[in-house]
Amino acid sequence: MADVAAEAHVSVKTVSRVVNHEPGVRPDTAERVRAVIERLGFRRHDGARLMRQGRTFTIALVVEDLANPFYSQVGAAVEREARIRQHQLITASAEGSPSRERAVIEALVGRRVDGIVVVPADESASSDAVLEASHTPIVYMDRPVRGTPRDTILSDNHGGIRSAVEHLVAHGHRNIAFYGDDPAFWTARQRRDAFVTTQQSLGLPASPRVSMGPHTPVSVHETLSQWTTGPEPITAVITGNNRITLAALLALRELRLPLSLVGYDDFELAALIDPPVTVVHQDPAAMGQKAAQQLFARLLGDESQAQTVVMPTRLIVRASGIRRGTPTR
């Protein structure tokens, strides 16, 4: 900028004015400056600019794994909201590790990002203290965090599971198994609990078949063959997330079992699997958008109390949930 100023025989301030389209520059002066800028290939250094202004026009998204379709859809939505508002998005993966999450967030706070959307790795959110001290606005997503109340965007896990159970019961199922993820995850517990209470409220047989923990096709296979052969054999399965749905599909195919299945999370091509898989659809793009919007509201000075938004889920009925007891192939 100093070079441009010297070359155009003006002060740096005038160059600044031209670059930022500020008023108070005679057209011919501005034109001269622009010509020099063009000739020298000058480009404003936004880092310096933003430092001067105390804002970075940058927000960050911290998730477990960007390659996971759920998070990548969230990421696309957040990036979109950011772009609309002239902000950049920094994305970071914590790989499910609280310590890495903390490190990542410290780095982001060190860069003075204007705000952060986080899918927290654990409920105690040790990183929260960092954010508290730095006053960086934050929105939690998908999972809540203990401690200071924060804006949080959740999915209606309870409603989603209830709709799945009700759907199956409406089609005559009474013995339903639930495969959930590791109960260390808040969402896994939520869905499990929803399953149990819904069963109770619908007056289904007690001692529900519930299997938690990280699941593999093999682990599903084992319990499945057990629960289908004993007394009161199950006729339907509900899976607690994407990966487990996949494991269950493989196990069902292997066992050639004609069970009904409702999966949590929609996935590409769910309609093409035979039978097409009925799913509880949560809308990651909508969640990401909502989270970003909430964050930007804070950035614009919204000082109202932290709020928790629960986003609705939707049951997408495909064949897998209704062909009760009939072989699918």
Partner DNA sequence: CGGTGGTCAGACAACGCTGTCATGCCCGCA
Partner DNA sequence: TGCGGGCATGACAGCGTTGTCTGACCACCG
**Site for a second copy, rule CB under 8 A:** 41, 43-48, 50-51, 56, 58, 65-67, 69, 71-73, 75-77, 79-80, 83, 88-93, 104, 107-112, 133-134, 246, 249-250, 253, 267-269, 272-274, 285, 329
Residue among 162 and 318 whose Cβ is closer to a second copy: 318
Site track for DNA across 16-55, x = CB under 7 A: xx-xx--xxxx--xx-----------xxxx--xx-xxxx-
The tokens of 313 are what?
A: 């889920």
- Residue 19 or 317: the one with the smaller Cβ distance to DNA is 19
Which residue is listed with tokens 């909430």? 294
Asked if 13 is part of the footprint of DNA (rule: CB under 7 A), the reply reads yes
What angle in degrees, to the nearest 10, is found between the helix axes of 69-84 and 284-299? 40
Burial class (CB in 10 A: 0-12, 13-18, 19+), 191: buried
- CA angle centred on 153, ends 149 and 159, rounded to 5°: 115
Distance CA 295, CA 289 (A): 10
SS3 of 154, please? strand
> How many other C-beta atoms are found inside a 10 Å radius of the C-beta of residue 209?
21
The residue within the footprint of DNA, chosen from 1, 130, 299, 309 (CB under 7 A), is 1
Buried b / exposed e over 265-303, threshold 16 CB at 10 Å, is bbbeebeebebbbbbbbbbbebbbbbbbbbbbebbeeee
Which of the choices a second copy, DNA, none does residue 39 contact, using the CB cut-off of 5 to 8 A by kind?
Answer: none
10 binding DNA? (CB under 7 A): yes
Residue (39 or 45) nearer to DNA, CB? 45
Choose the one of DNA, a second copy, none that binds residue 93, judging by a C-beta under 5 to 8 angstroms depending on kind.
Answer: a second copy
| Contact pattern from residue 52 through residue 71 relative to DNA, giving x for each residue in contact according to CB under 7 A and a dash for the rest | xxx-----------------
Minimal distance, residue 100 CB to a second copy, in Å: 9
Angle (nearest 5°) at CA 298 between 292 and 301? 145
Binding stretches for DNA (CB under 7 A): 1-2, 9-14, 16-17, 19-20, 23-26, 29-30, 42-45, 48-49, 51-54
